[in-house]
Structure 1
Amino acid sequence: MEQASGSGRYGPAYSAQMASAIASCTGAISRLDARICVSPVAKAWARRAMWSGYAKALQLQQAEIDEIDVFSWGCGLKVPGRALRTTHLDVYEDFEPWEAALADSDPLAWRDALPLAIGEPAEAADHPPLVRAFDRVRQHARAVGSIVPWLALPFALRDMKMTASPLPCLAGGVKAFRLKKTPQDDDWLAALRALGSSALAGLDRIHALERFYRDAQRAIAEQYRPGALPALLALSHHRPLLSPQAVADRLGLSVAGASKLLERAKEARLLEEITQRRTWRLFLTPDLAAEFGYVEPKAGRPTKEPLPYPVTGILPQPSMHLTKRWQRSTRC
């Protein structure tokens, strides 16, 4: 649907700085999209990316929340020392519809909920796809005051052929898109740089998740009797924050057996304990533990990764549905 352009100009002024920001952001998105298309941990990454993108959208709604809070909500666990959730307002009410829209194979389904006023003037075709995607978010944010416009950016990027599928970590924008009728060039630069940073962060996270997957394969191969360790590590791809009770419920173990299993993963440096207590312990994957500030990040040049084992089937592809064979395994 087309609409006549308003009194304000369409898009930013294309200075050298703006062109560089657009090229840098577009390149980062392209690299992330290409990596996701071939990654063996794409599904596990997508779940983490949804929590990350939703946290960013909440922050644009002036919610006092950090990524770790959304991750802990997604994993169903409470991290000690974090603020309690508000009881008078459900900030996660839009997560399920967004998750369903991301999983929908129909590329046009999400547009059904868009306001009819959203469209593009004739001159939009002369602008870069990234600017056109941001302008759709800007129009949506001006029409709707909820979190939904910020969550719509991954779909707009997909519609502009910048990604093969919606990448949830690319949700976001800038508050000026909602507050100003005509955003300034500084606002456009802020939006471009923030999106480029999100794409690079998503790329770093998929690198870390793939490294974790390979480390898990090596650790399991070195175990004389791995028992339920493969099931635990497959679970940790999708549920990076774990407790003994959560592991016991999902893997069909006793709480004591789950505690021993988590201790084995900790000794193999595949999980980090983020609580200093004997009961109600919590464990987090090493990459997120360092990113969220629970452990000191490794300084200096990264260590050389050992060669992968020439063995297949050590650690199944991460899946949300654990097989019955894993569930029956109760050895620790």
Structure 2
Amino acid sequence: MVTAIAAATAAIARLDARIIVSPVAKAWSTRAAWSGYARALQLQSAEVEEIDVFSWGCDLKIPGRPPLPSHLDLFDRFAEWRAALQDDDRLRWRDRLPTAIGDPATATEHAPLVRALDTVRQLARIDHSIMAWLSLPFALRDRGLVASPLPCLAGGAKAFRLKPRPNDDDWLAVLRALESAATIALQRLHSLERHYRDAQRAIAAEYRPGALPALLALIQYRPLLSPQSAAELLCMSIAGASKLFERAATAGLLVEITQRRSWRQFLTPDLAADFGYVRPKRGRPAKEPPPLPVDRDLAAVFDAFDTEMAALDNLLARKCELN
């Protein structure tokens, strides 16, 4: 148990330290929210997989995937949770907790991670909604384990709700699942940062980038795209968007997952491997190309790409508010 607590705490600390200095923190948090919400839905016994939540978040139905239940709204609490994650008031979530939740007399004998999980356990016994599982990122922050809530760490265990006193095996399962979630999230952060650098190289290598920077910036926030959805968001023709997708796929920044001539869909290579659309690469990871030489022209290209990403972030935020 002590080893599991230490391993999970270390994995969370590594992720927290990296996300603080990452240039793609906002884009990563969007993907992490979908991952965390998928885990919470599974704890609510919803028959969904992570790719289904990504599909919903990107507003794109993937052919061949089973339809989500139509008699209930699985995502009715997502907007509320995302707003809480972005709230600067650190006390708002804690003030909403039922007064029956508190630390037992022996709480100081346990590690902060166990105390955070116990808060979720108590809440799950009182609140039978998905919000109990979505509260774990806030509990970790309140115990000083992370600087800000990390949405990918939402979760818990069904035993927290069903058993008055979970046994050691239940606690071990939760700790190992939390360590795995933090490790996977860190790997995806590394992949997203590498995609960000590869996008900069692809833009710098183009004689006339055109609208390619806008598409590559959009991919950071919407890893699952089609020419139709990109054309709508970027205010361009479907034919023009299709040509941009071909350029991005040639540069290795997108993978087609539909293999058809019309209504094609593309996914980033790392998620395509995670979701089983392509075979994961074995052996040592490919060596990353050396950094591009720093000069004034390239600095302007990189600044323009960052500006495109900020503009896309604002555009998608306004779109979510309208919906």
TM-score of the superposed pair, with normalisation by structure 2: 0.93
Q: In structure 2, what is the Cα distance between the partners aligned to 1:34 and 1:74?
A: 26
Shift of 1:320: 5.4
The residue aligned with 1:319 is 309
Question: In 1, are the aligned partners of 2:134 and 2:154 still within 8 Å (CA)?
Answer: yes
Which of 64, 74, 78 aligns to 1:81? It is 64
Q: In structure 1, what is the Cα distance between the partners aligned to 2:300 and 2:16?
A: 27
Aligned to 1:263, the other structure's residue is in SS state helix
Aligned to 1:26, the other structure's residue is in SS state helix
The residue aligned with 1:145 is 128
Question: In 1, are the aligned partners of 2:101 and 2:123 still within 8 Å (CA)?
Answer: yes
Shift of 1:158: 0.1
Question: In 2, are the aligned partners of 1:235 and 1:320 still within 8 Å (CA)?
Answer: no
Question: In 2, are the aligned partners of 1:248 and 1:255 still within 8 Å (CA)?
Answer: yes
The residue aligned with 1:173 is 156
The residue aligned with 2:137 is 154
Question: In 2, are the aligned partners of 1:50 and 1:169 still within 8 Å (CA)?
Answer: yes
Shift of 1:228: 0.6
The residue aligned with 1:261 is 244
Q: Which runs of 5+ in 1 are unaligned?
A: 1-17, 325-332
Which of 46, 50, 55 aligns to 2:29? It is 46
Q: 1:119 and 2:102 equivalent?
A: yes
Which of 215, 219, 226 aligns to 1:243? It is 226
Q: In structure 2, what is the Cα distance between the partners aligned to 1:186 and 1:319?
A: 44
Aligned to 1:209, the other structure's residue is in SS state helix
Q: In structure 2, what is the Cα distance between the partners aligned to 1:238 and 1:226?
A: 20
The residue aligned with 2:93 is 110
Q: Which runs of 5+ in 2 are unaligned?
A: 315-323
The residue aligned with 2:118 is 135
Aligned to 2:74, the other structure's residue is in SS state coil
Shift of 1:117: 1.1
Which of 47, 50, 64 aligns to 2:47? It is 64
Q: In structure 2, what is the Cα distance between the partners aligned to 1:205 and 1:275?
A: 23
* Shift >4 Å, 4+ stretches: none
Question: In 1, are the aligned partners of 2:34 and 2:53 still within 8 Å (CA)?
Answer: yes
Question: In 1, are the aligned partners of 2:48 and 2:68 still within 8 Å (CA)?
Answer: no
CA shift digits 1:54-78 (9 cap, x unpaired) = 0000001111111100001000000
Aligned to 2:98, the other structure's residue is in SS state coil
Question: In 2, are the aligned partners of 1:49 and 1:202 still within 8 Å (CA)?
Answer: yes
CA shift digits 1:124-155 (9 cap, x unpaired) = 12211000000000000000111111000000
Q: In structure 2, what is the Cα distance between the partners aligned to 1:34 and 1:239?
A: 24
Q: In structure 1, what is the Cα distance between the partners aligned to 2:108 and 2:309?
A: 41
Indicate the larger mover: 119-128 or 21-30. 119-128
What letter is aligned with 1:152?
A: S
Question: In 1, are the aligned partners of 2:221 and 2:313 still within 8 Å (CA)?
Answer: no
CA shift digits 1:136-185 (9 cap, x unpaired) = 00000000111111000000000000000000000001110000000000
Aligned to 2:301, the other structure's residue is in SS state coil
Q: In structure 1, what is the Cα distance between the partners aligned to 2:300 and 2:192?
A: 18
- Which runs of structure 2 are paired with 1:162-311 in the superposition (5 Å)? 162-309=145-292, 310=294, 311=298
The number of equivalent residue pairs is 307
What letter is aligned with 2:299?
A: T
The residue aligned with 1:29 is 12
Aligned residues with identical type, % of pairs: 66
Q: In structure 1, what is the Cα distance between the partners aligned to 2:262 and 2:276?
A: 22
